[in-house]
Amino acid sequence: MSTYPLPQQEPQGAQESVALQAPAHEAHHAALGVDSKKIGMWLFIASDCMFFGALIGTYLIYAGKSTVGPYPQDLFDIPLTTVSTFILLMSSLAMAMAVHGAQHGDMKKLKRWLGLTILMGLTFLGFQVYEYSHFIAAGLTLSRNLFGTTFYVLTGTHGVHVALGVLWLTLLFITALRGDTKRVNPVNVEIAGLYWHFVDIVWIVVFAVVYLMADVAA
Amino acid sequence: MATITSTTARTLLRPTAQKGLLSWLTTVDHKRIGIMYFWTALFFLFIGGVEALIIRLQLARPNQTLVHPETFNQLFTMHGTTMIFLAVMPLIAAFINYLLPLMIGARDVAFPRLNAFSYWIFLLGGIFLNIPWFFGQAPNAAWTGYVPLTLNQYSPGLNADYWLAGLQLVGLGTLISGFNFIVTIFNMRAPGMTLLRMPVFAWTTLIMSFLVIMAFPSITIALFFIMFDRMFGTHFFNIAAGADITLWQHLFWVFGHPEVYILILPAMGIISEVVPTFSRKPLFGYSVMVFSTVAIGFLGFSVWSHHMFTIGMGAVANTAFALTTMTIAIPTGIKMFNWIGTLWGGSIRFKTPMLYALGFLSMFVIGGLSGVMHSAAPANMQQHDTYFVIAHFHYVLIGGALFGLLAGMHYWFPKVTGRLMNERLGVASFIFSLIGFNMTFFPHHFLGLMGMPRRIYTYDAAMGWNTLNMLSTVGAFVLAFGFTLVLVNLLVSIKKGKEAGPDPWDARTLEWITETPPPVYNFAVTPLVSSRDEFWARKYQGAPALAAEEPGPIILPAPSYFPLLMSIALTVAAFGLVYSNLLLTIGLAATLLCIIGWAFEGVGEVTIYPKGFEQQ
Amino acid sequence: MRRSRLSRCVQRGTLLVFVLLLALAGAQVYAQSTPQQSALQPAGPVARMQLDLFMLTVYIAIGIFTLVVGLLLIAIVRFRSRPGRPEPKQVTGNNTLEVVWTIVPVILVAIIAVPTVRGLFFVDTPPEGESITVNVTAHQWWWEFEYPDYGIVTANEMRIPTGKVVKLNLTSSDVIHSFWVPNLAGKMDTNPGRWNSMWLQADTPGVYYGQCAEFCGVAHANMRFRVIAETPEEFDAWVARWEEALVEPVVHAETPDLVARGAEAFMDRACFACHAIAGTDAKGVVGPNLTLFGTRTSLAAGMLDNTPENLAAWIRDPQAIKPGNQMPRLNVPEEDIQAIVAYLHSLR
Ligand code: HEA
Ligand code: HEA
Ligand code: CUA
Ligand SMILES: [Cu+2]
């Protein structure tokens, strides 16, 4: 079947000597030495930056253009949102601990911190739900004015990211509880972690642009 | 034949069919997916082509009433949408799917199931976009979908809803392909295949994929904005609420301009494979070629507003975009001259693939040059939205992208089928296409300057456009005949073509090293690459044919139902976007289930025992 | 075998050149037959500058095209594979060449860039001097022209004095349209909710045809208009006529009875709901202002000449003439139609 002779010796004249590696059972070459899924996650993050870039850009372009209230200054409760922001930030720390656990095969640590991360994510979402219902009661709906439109779509998209993250971590958590160490391997946890950190960082930007700058502008 | 054993019996849903319809529906083999992309794209090319021919018939003479104005608007909207999203991009995907792993010495792409998903969602999205033809409400607001024309007030029908939801489906597939191809290139290269040893086609794929993942988010968001405005009464484009309608145009062209380089770069990659082979010389200035591809990719993100010189941005902004646009001529010119440098001093054989490549070189220049004329912004104010633009982009899209893809099709046909395409039919198809193409679109330059706007369904006899329009319509049929010959050639040669043998063109790159047609596992043993034109080096420069692994059983990813299931679920959701929130919820819930099932199913493994390594 | 392939190749080249020449020649003939609207026959400074810039790019393009295709042809002929040709040297590149063919395009681009930038500021800044201002509002699918200095509001025909700068402010009442009179100036979009501006100037009296250039829906193809450039004296007379008409509409009534009946029918048949005629009770704003309609040369956004027959046909069934437009078919009785035609044409 193989029409080409196998090397009798180390390749000659080849610029780099690549030894016989990549055993037949290796499905991925990982030419970069990084897991494919992890590279995929980095690329997704790059792409997602453009998503949020478009959303944040739109928010900025329309900032202050609403023709009717309520306006940001009427609604924002910066201290409250600072608390939820802080919680989300801390969840990144918890996630980092979980990853650390996974990397050292410490399932108990992994489970503990993963659980905490999930809880914190849920708390953040809870804050968001509270905030939304409060805003809606104050008259800011999706179709009220440009502020409502851009605010809900931007923060809502972020919220969906958090929710999907929570779902993902929960699936990991359950798998970990079932003791499936094949699936809950360091790489898979790291990738989930990458996503989670990214979602946090986006929130920092959103928080700065939407909440803090509104305060400055007012 | 090799024996194939599935080692993943554990999962309930795992399909095992190796032949028949089910095997195609569940396949994750990049070559099969490539073939499905190919035929589907040709089908849509045909649809888009027929739409174009009706457009040309309607415009053949002044004051014609062949189609209703409303239908005409649907025709050119769907023609543009179909050609760009459902014909040329999938055709590109077909080439990349089939060839990329072979060219870099891989057994498949990095994420085979995602790859299948990309195809299915494209197919269903393409069908979805065309469904409203059946009740006369095909999208009708041009492929650029400018607001406010696409808002409820001016498009109360389903036209825009189908367009918005359909493009989301197709876009999702493309986006995922983008990730997949990049990771494949980064991670799946055979040992020794360094980035700077990759065939240029792999490089253009890489850059094109980066353009995809950075550009598509912008249109995705923009489409959602219109959707929300239509469905939930948001105000993204509501002028009364203080919105600015040019926001759509910015978001669209931030995507739209990189999109045109998405269409041309892979064709340039193909030309960079075909020209060296038929000149019997390596590509001239390989690293410069790579660098200029990267440069085009970067610059491509800084020029989008050259589609908007007349929206009233003011002289300063227009100046900035005019200048950035012009600079793109420089890396593109570098490419042109390097191809000529490749020909120079070679020993050129004029087989069909080479003819199409030469067609590309001469026709793309015309389109590129009229692009530069566009970029001279004050002059653009006369050209914009006229047939001059139509001329420009058909020269780059047909004379460029499509001719490039046709060159590739004739070139790799023997690799895929083991047979040669008929030379005489090939030459004939080339001649008719070339003449028909020029006859159709060269007059458009003059029509545009003579004041003919685009997207008009009729014109007055006194305008002075009669003869040139008639000429163009006749040309369109000559062109269609040329393409028909290509199709005939394809169909005939698949069954009756001459046996090609493993290396019909005396080629240079890795994909020709393996058998023809390639076995499921591509390479019995992964080759060890030691030079840029590895195959050529092995044939003529005494490079040893090294392998990177011991021969033995090969493990391939296992087929799966989930790609197809998930695309169906998403299509249901898309119908939901058009018709009902309930359907939307069902679709999204089903999608979520599919994602979970997908994750728990895992990649799966199929072990293949090539001859001589039968299962013990 | 080889021979015939070469000759085929030469044939192909000849054919291509032939086709291109044919297209060129055909276009030439048609350019000379004076298309109704054309960017190739500028009649004012803006269009002239735009054509000059365009021609510069054309000359450069022809140069580059000749170079590239010339080199291609030479390569094809000189380096075609022939029996006995030695195997080509496996050359991989040449740095000097790379530099040369980077620098040359850079220079050419710079040559285009300078007049481009100058031109952009030229179109953006109307010259000093005598000028008139017109506010253009685009509607689906007709044009409204308002002269704020004179109180004139008219439609589909813009009168301007020759030799004077005409400053345009443009907007739209619905979707995006684009104002384009090829012989006078490049286009400018009319964006709803926003005012754009441009300027143009006509050197000689004449009728300049224009057309909406941005796709705007069903009747986009039929959204035309005319710019009528007159000597300043004629233009002033037109303005003076308007000043009268703003007070007292009908003057030229050869058949007073019919015209009187038409004026009544215009009110009875609800025309007034959409159309305004200065000095009467008709104050509608949905459709074109019909004051001094008898002085207009065209009808239905430049589609038809303003003859009694065409006008009658329009009132009878506007949808048959211009599918999709916003004026409904009103089933006006035939005798009313004739009366309305007489009335509208008496408004001169
Ligand atoms: C494959 C697709 C493709 C490609 C490759 C290009 C390439 C280019 N395009 Fe084109 N373009 C389109 C597809 C494409 N375009 C489409 C689809 C539209 C219309 C969309 C719509 O409105 O529907 C469009 C519209 C469009 C416009 C807007 C026109 C308008 O609506 O008013 C402009 C304006 O600047 C433009 C410019 C350019 C330029 C400068 C290039 C350059 O990249 C070209 C560079 C190449 C060369 C210049 C030739 C080779 C170079 C040399 C031999 C070197 C020497 C040359 C010089 C020094 C000049 N294009
Ligand atoms: C890659 C993209 C692509 C391709 C290949 C084409 C191909 C063609 N296009 Fe183009 N076109 C666009 C992209 C493309 N187009 C876009 C983006 C627009 C703008 C839309 C908008 O304004 O929104 C446009 C608009 C456009 C217009 C302007 C419409 C208007 O503004 O009113 C016209 C008019 O002549 C036209 C003509 C044609 C013709 C005659 C072909 C021919 O080349 C088609 C020939 C192909 C075939 C006929 C099919 C293939 C043939 C077979 C598979 C064999 C069998 C078939 C038969 C025998 C019928 N196109
Ligand atoms: Cu108005 Cu087109
Ligand atoms: Cu562009």
Q: In chain A, what are the domains? A: 37-212 (1.20.120.80)
pLDDT at B1: 38
Is residue C187 within a helix (H) or strand (E), and if so which, with residue range?
strand C185-190
Residues of chain C with CATH 2.60.40.420: 131-230, 248-346
pLDDT at C24: 65
Interchain contact, B247 vs A61, CB within 8 Å: yes
Rounded to an integer, the average pLDDT of B376-386 is 96
pLDDT digit string (tens) for C321-345? 999 999 999 999 999 999 999 999 9
pLDDT at B551: 83
Is residue B546 within a helix (H) or strand (E), and if so which, with residue range?
none
CA nearest neighbour of B69 among C315, C141, C210: C141
pLDDT at C12: 64
pLDDT at C4: 57
- Check residues B539 and B213 and name the one with the higher pLDDT: B213
Interface test with A, best of B103, B185, B234, B250 (most A CBs within 10 A): B234
pLDDT at C17: 65
Ligand 3 atom closest to Cα of residue C213: 2
Cβ neighbour number for residue A86 with a 10 Å cutoff: 12
Peptide bond into B465 cis (omega under 30): no
Cβ neighbour number for residue C82 with a 10 Å cutoff: 11
Interchain contact, B217 vs A66, CB within 8 Å: no
pLDDT-above-70 percentage for chain C? 90
Furthest CA-CA distance within chain B: 83
Alpha-carbon span B21 to B243, nearest angstrom: 51
pLDDT at B6: 46
Alpha carbon of C107: minimum distance to chain B alpha carbons (Å): 10
Please tell me whether residue C346 adopts helix, strand or coil conformation. Answer: helix
**DSSP 8-state code for residue B19:** S
Q: Both tokens of residue B196?
A: 């700077």
In contact, B171 and B144? CB cutoff 8 Å: no
- β partners of residue C196: C170
Q: Both tokens of residue B335?
A: 């490419």
pLDDT-above-90 percentage for chain A? 61
pLDDT at A2: 35
Is residue B555 within a helix (H) or strand (E), and if so which, with residue range?
strand B554-557
Alpha-carbon span B548 to B510, nearest angstrom: 14
pLDDT-above-90 percentage for chain C? 73
Distances (CA, A) of C53 to B375, C111, C296: 11, 11, 35
CA nearest neighbour of C295 among C231, C237, C256: C237
pLDDT-above-70 percentage for chain B? 97
Q: Both tokens of residue B187?
A: 């991670």
pLDDT at B77: 97
pLDDT at C87: 85
Q: How confident is the model at residue A16 (pLDDT cuts 50, 70, 90)?
A: very low
Nearest residue by C-alpha to atom 38 in ligand 1: B371
Pick the CATH number of C2-82+95-124 from 1.10.287.90, 1.10.240.10, 3.30.1360.30, 2.40.400.10: 1.10.287.90
Using a CB-CB distance cutoff of 8 angstroms, which residues of chain A are in contact with residue B555?
A: 24-25, 27
Reading phi first (left if > 0) and then psi (alpha if -120 to 50, else beta), residue A13 is in: left
B328 CA distance to ligand 1 middle (Å): 9
Q: Which CATH class is domain C248-346?
A: mainly beta
Rounded to an integer, the average pLDDT of A12-27 is 34
Q: How confident is the model at residue A60 (pLDDT cuts 50, 70, 90)?
A: very high
> Which residues fall within 8 angstroms of residue A94, CB to CB, at 6 or more apart?
A113, A114, A116, A117, A120
Residues within 8 A of B (CB atoms), C 133-152 only: 140
The finding on whether B200 has its CB within 6 A of some atom of ligand 2 is no
Pick the CATH number of C131-230 from 2.60.40.420, 1.10.1040.10, 3.40.50.300, 2.170.130.10: 2.60.40.420
Q: Both tokens of residue B91?
A: 């055709």
Q: Both tokens of residue B532?
A: 């840029």
> Average model confidence (pLDDT) for chain C?
90
What is the reported pTM?
Answer: 0.94
pLDDT for residue C205 is more than 60: yes
pLDDT-above-70 percentage for chain A? 84
Nearest residue by C-alpha to atom 1 in ligand 3: C177
**DSSP 8-state code for residue B28:** -
Alpha-carbon span C294 to B211, nearest angstrom: 58
Nearest residue by C-alpha to atom 19 in ligand 2: B80
pLDDT at C16: 67
pLDDT at A13: 35
B368 CA distance to ligand 1 middle (Å): 5
Ligand 1 atom closest to Cα of residue B377: 35
C6 CA distance to ligand 4 middle (Å): 38
Alpha carbon of B156: minimum distance to chain A alpha carbons (Å): 19
pLDDT digit string (tens) for B551-568? 888 888 889 999 999 999
> Average model confidence (pLDDT) for chain B?
93
Please spell the DSSP secondary structure of C32-93, one letter per residue: HT--SS-TTS--SHHHHHHHHHHHHHHHHHHHHHHHHHHHHHHHHHHTB--TTPPPPP----
pLDDT for residue B257 is more than 80: yes
Alpha-carbon span C306 to C304, nearest angstrom: 6
pLDDT at C31: 57
Interchain contact, B314 vs C188, CB within 8 Å: no
Alpha-carbon span A215 to B584, nearest angstrom: 38
Rg of chain C over CA atoms, in angstroms?
A: 28
pLDDT for residue A19 is more than 50: no
Residue with tokens 């600015």: B244
- Check residues C92 and B44 and name the one with the higher pLDDT: B44
Distances (CA, A) of B221 to A60, B216, B248, B312, C340: 15, 9, 10, 24, 52
Using a CB-CB distance cutoff of 8 angstroms, which residues of chain A are in contact with residue B552?
A: 24
pLDDT digit string (tens) for A95-137? 999 999 988 888 889 999 999 999 999 999 999 999 999 999 9
pLDDT at C94: 87
pLDDT at B615: 56
Lowest mean pLDDT among A29-43, B343-357, B432-446, C210-224: A29-43
Residue type, B283: L
pLDDT digit string (tens) for A159-214? 999 999 999 999 899 988 888 777 788 888 999 999 999 999 999 999 999 998 87
Strands B605-609 and B554-557: antiparallel
Interface confidence, given as ipTM, is: 0.92
Interchain contact, B315 vs C189, CB within 8 Å: no
Lowest mean pLDDT among B282-286, C15-19, C116-120, C266-270: C15-19
Interchain contact, B284 vs C91, CB within 8 Å: yes
Lowest mean pLDDT among A179-183, B74-78, C139-143, C159-163: A179-183
pLDDT for residue A29 is more than 80: no
Alpha carbon of B222: minimum distance to chain A alpha carbons (Å): 8
